[in-house]
Structure 1
Amino acid sequence: MADKNYTASDLVIDTLKNNGVEYIFGIPGAKIDYLFNSLKDGGPELIVARHEQNAAMMAQGIGRLTGQPGVAIVTSGPGVSNLTTGLLTATSEGDPVLAIGGQVKRQDLLRLTHQSVDNASLLKSSTKYSEEVQDPESLSEVMTNAIRTATVGKNGASFISVPQDVISSEVESRAISLSQKPNLGVPSENDINEVIEAIENAKFPVLLTGMRSSSHNETQAIRKLVEKTNLPVVETFQGAGVISRELENHFFGRVGLFRNQVGDELLRKSDLVLTIGYDPIEYEASNWNKELDTKIINIDEVQAEISNHMQPVKELIGNIAGTIDIISDKVNAPFINSSDLDELEKLRATTLEKTAIKPTHKDGILHPLEIIDSMQKVLTDDTTVSVDVGSHYIWLARKFRSYNPRHLLFSNGMQTLGVALPWAISAALVRPNTQIVSVSGDGGFLFSGQELETAVRKNLNIIQLIWNDGKYNMVEFQEKMKYQRSAGVDFGAVDYVKYAESFGAKGLRVTNQQELEAAIKEGYETEGPVLIDIPVNYEDNEELSSTMLPDVLN
């Protein structure tokens, strides 16, 4: 191929390379196809998606799993507007994403013409950073600052709008090298000592680990602290996997959605809660500190959002892992003694007895606890499980144990339907030697089910479980609790086995636990994606909520 002049699209690709980007998710179009054309000459691997929202959610999956921005590139007009939900989900849930959208030529920006939209304004409320580039020479500068913004503080999405004549322009600038993330410091020795003294003086201290506690370094630091201090731990949904198998007796469940779990009772009884990487979008403090009688110490990269129920007496803002490591190194004896641990076990047993649900077995249809039991038997600790939103999400968040951070993935901030399969695709790309399981309801699955073709095309080893009941059941059971009837939750049947086969995937249907376990094992042994249709019995959903405190209906 003959040498070509260096263009803005080359500048974009080189900037992505310099930042270690391996995958781009997107859909081409006339306003951005110059960039797609340049990608053919070398660059990150392009994964063509079937919808821009799914491309954004695949990018979000990369961000959550790696801590580095996932990248989505789309065309103008509806291509950009379709990014909104994915970018909003990433920003709300703290996952770094860089999205680039095509735009009309600069001369057409101020008049009504084909696909002329104020892209930057459109996506400003869904992102941490949203700007349009007018000067092609500044593209690498803008991208670098967008990446830094996406990965500093609470991570989130950045968006860059690029007019058609900008991306195709020749440039003299060259790509800025790797954007280094600023190193965060640790609190002073005096601050550390005050926190240790507060924990030592507390009668019942508890750790609440949130979304920013679940990356590798933070998880290792928390495990070291728990091992040395015997502190009990409650996880948020996005904090799942912080506590290892070896520390199982210190784990007191996850909190989210409904205030009626073991973790809620533990937090209610605590006189001092140490929040680590906690974000209120996961589970507002009004849910776990409603009585307003709990002291809070906040350890995080970003300062707390103050509310009536979240008023920390002390905040240690900086490097989370480094801060916790210093606390661990300065602790000389456990904060919780063996008699206190015995009392905690009694609390666990009492609360579990009050909230216990025994599965109602029906032939030919599986109870949620039966499905979870089978999953727990067959899946390994290295399996990544991405979970869509629906009734299954509540059951899995409460009952499915995960012992590695960011291996059980929830959309807890936005509760966005359709995330499971796009995230599973991302996980299969960055964790190629492990098994990936995507769990959806039959409602949420068809929000992004077309990406099954993407998984087939890339020959990704993904097992897609569909909990099938023919309804938007998470809405249905809450409506029944409020109004004694449901509305707008029914839809028609789909043959998901044939659906899978039409895309070139393997489709299986099961009717009992033995068949489910055999199907999952078959999925492990099959090259490429496998879909398993599971008829589910949600009769106990209302019982799931029957012991709720009166303040917790969503």
Structure 2
Amino acid sequence: MTKASDLFVQALENEGVEYIFGIPGEENLDLLNSLKDSKIRLILTRHEQGAGFMAATYGRLTGKPGVCLSTLGPGATNLVTPAAYAQLGAMPMLMLTGQKPIKKSKQGRFQILDVVDMMRPITKYTRQVVSGNNIPSIVREAFRLASEERPGAAHIELPEDVAAEESDEKVFEVNTIRRPSPDVKAVKEAVKMIEASKMPLLLIGAGANRQRTRTALQAFVEETKIPFCNTQMGKGVLDERQELFLGTAALSADDYLHHAINKADLIINVGHDVVEKPPFFMEHDRKKVIHINFFSAEVDQVYFPQLNVVGDIAESVEQITRLIDLQKHWDFSYYTKVHDEVESHITKYFKDERYPMLPQRIVNQIREILPDDGIVTLDNGVYKIWFARNYKCYESNTLLLDNALATMGAGLPSALAAKLIHPDKKVIAVCGDGGFMMNSQELETAVREKLHVIVIILNDNAYGMIKWKQEGMGFDNFGLDYQNPDFVKYAESYGAQGHRISSDADFSETLNKCLDTEGVHVIDCPVDYSLNHAILNVKIKEQADAL
């Protein structure tokens, strides 16, 4: 016989779990004791939300569910935001929560919520373990569903009396599930549509940001020379230094890229995820769209593809590449002009040395300094637009931004997870001052774990994204300004190293020094958002029409 909590840990080990991020409570003590002698590392965090963001980022980077742990009640409710973050962002994650005894309880309803039901709308799977004998099947099913396309969040509640039970069950074998191949007729129809079009354009979405897809899409682009663009969460699938790259759809409308998309008579939409609206609106009898994904398209008023190629994305693209013939009537001359115009537009402020620094300058400096495989994790703020538009990704999953839940507070925890997974890579978290303070306590986790991470705080003493929207909508400036702590002293209080930027030249020097010096570094960088409207309100339509 095996203690149920030991069996639970064996099931996690069987799934290849490396880390559990979280904060145990008394209801988790059996499980905690079982972890003591396990090869799984417990990463103790300072808030359950940070633990959830770390687990989700682990899933995003590895394709395997990251695991986080909390107690019942308030600990479990603190996982709601990370659950939504993973679910909307298609990041495989498993949450483990404790619970009071369910068979005999003398504590009334103290701290007791229906956590399973609470998690139901924001997970793919949520289940309470009512018998130790059910643990192997429940764990296997949670991992299967969390990993399966479309990936997302799963939740298991383990009550303390069940964790203490005995069981003679064994863990389930983990079998690889092969995704189905695309329908041959659909592939041939896709080839026919691409060959018949005059200005086809490849659009790479969040669902294409998977292993193997990069190789297949690069082969397609090299073979056909069809230009490509991406959504924010499709960044990095292909190297964005290529001449065929037209840019990232970082704005809702009326950027240079949108005009290129509007000119296209066929969009090859690979990995479209409904969490990111497509950067175009379909109209009947105009633009045609091929939807290539693991599942068919959800049809709405502005997205109703004429063809669905359903199956493993990489295999679908590979088959199309093998069958397609280059066409003399393809005309990419307009796209070439757009590429050149985009390059000129987004690089305009790269050399601007004013202080406080412009976000465009900061983006450029980070890109110039960071190695090709360095990882930048973003929190959420107006600077995310500038990173999406202006920061070129050379490798997949090197710019971790959230264009799904778009929550604040995830930037720092995501950086810690990225560094744990890739200890040999340089990792930088870029946070607004507002987002940083929402989970700044995880600096202690980073210091305790001896991680070499750099946190750049873009400091404007305000909720800058909302101020930008407030101004753009003609409202008075009200209710969004605050005062920050001394971030240098704040960092030092955790045992981290604090740095304050005092000039443009100081930024690159400081960042280089931090990248070369082990430890946790916090860089307080004043930022100037005053040109946001001026830059984004350029008369792009007239310029694009004149190309």
How has the CA–CA distance of structure 1 residues 188 and 290 changed in structure 2, closer, same or farther, with 3 Å as cutoff? closer
**Match of residue 263 from structure 1:** 257
Matched residue, 1:314: 307
Query: Partners of 2:68 and 2:474 in 1: how far apart?
Result: 42
Q: Which amino acid aligns with 2:318?
A: D
Distance apart, 1:243 and its partner CA: 1.9
- Give how far 1:358 is off: 4.2
TM-fit CA distance, 1:514: 2.2
2:296 is aligned, of 296, 303, 307, to: 303
Deviations 1:444-502 (A, max 9, x none): 00111111111111111111111110000001010111133233211112211111111
Offset at 1:106?
Answer: 0.6
Distance 2:340 2:353 in 1: 28
How far apart in 1 are the matches of 2:294 and 2:540? Answer: 32
1:89 to 76, 85, 88: 85
CA distance in 1, matches of 2:43, 2:381: 28
Residue 462 of structure 2, aligned match among 462, 468, 471: 471
Residue type of the partner of 1:511? S
Structure 2 counterpart of 1:234, one-letter code: C
Alpha-carbon offset, residue 244 of structure 1: 1.6
Q: For 1:35 and 1:548, how far apart are their aligned partners in 2?
A: 60
Q: Distance in 1 between matches of 2:303 and 2:105?
A: 45
Name the amino acid aligned to 2:396.
P
Per-residue deviation, 1:335? 7.6
Letter in 2 for 1:82: N
Equivalence for 2:234 = 239
Q: Deviations over 1:83-136 (max 9, x none)?
A: 000010100010000111001111368984221110110111111111111111
Q: Give the unaligned 5+ runs of structure 1.
A: none
Rounded to whole Å, the distance in 2 between the matches of 1:493 and 1:479 is 21
Question: How many percent of aligned residue pairs carry the same amino acid?
Answer: 32
**What is the aligned partner in structure 2 of residue 328 from structure 1?**
321
- Partner SS, residue 234 of structure 1: strand
Query: Hey, what's the Cα distance between the residues in 1 that align with 2:463 and 2:351?
Result: 21
Task: Find the counterpart in structure 2 of residue 196 from structure 1.
Answer: 191
Provide the C-alpha distance between the structure 2 equivalents of 1:71 and 1:548, rounded to a whole number of angstroms. 48
Residues 1:280 and 2:271 aligned together: no
Q: Check if 1:346 corresponds to 2:341.
A: no
- Give SS of 1:107's match: coil
Aligned mate of 1:485, from 468, 476, 483: 476
Given that 1:13 and 1:43 are in contact with CA atoms closer than 8 Å, whether structure 2 keeps it comes out as: no
SS in 2 for 1:343: helix
The alignment status of 1:139 with 2:135, answered yes or no, reads yes
Evaluate the alpha carbon distance shift between residue 490 and residue 84 of structure 1 in structure 2; reply closer, same or farther with a 3 A threshold.
Answer: same
1:311 Cα deviation from its structure 2 partner: 0.7
2:49 & 2:256 partners in 1: Cα distance?
A: 36
Is there any run of 5+ residues in structure 2 with no aligned partner, and where? Answer: 542-547
Determine if the alignment matches structure 1 residue 289 to structure 2 residue 284: no
Cα–Cα, structure 1 residues 147 and 94, in superposed 2: closer, same or farther, change >3 Å?
A: same
Q: What corresponds to 1:254 in structure 2?
A: 248
What is the aligned length?
A: 540
Conserved? CA contact 2:183–2:309, under 8 Å: no
User: Judging changes above 3 Å, is the alpha-carbon distance between structure 1 residues 64 and 12 closer, same or farther for their aligned structure 2 residues?
Assistant: same
Is the 1:103–1:162 Cα contact (8 Å) retained in structure 2? yes
TM (norm. structure 1) is 0.93
1:498 aligns with 2:498: no
User: Are the counterparts in 2 of residues 230 and 334 from structure 1 also a CA contact under 8 Å?
Assistant: no
| TM-score (structure 2 length as normaliser) | 0.94
Of residues 199, 205, 226, the one that matches 2:200 is: 205
Instruction: Report if the CA contact (8 A) 2:49-2:81 is conserved.
Output: yes
Aligned to 1:426: 417
Q: Indicate the residue corresponding to 2:157 in structure 1.
A: 161
Cα 1:312–1:17 shift into 2, 3 Å = same
Q: Tell me: CA distance 1:336–1:355, structure 2 relative to 1, closer, same or farther (3 Å).
A: farther
| Structure 1 position 519 matched with structure 2 position 485 | no
Amino acid aligned to 1:232? P
Q: Does 1:63 align with 2:54?
A: no
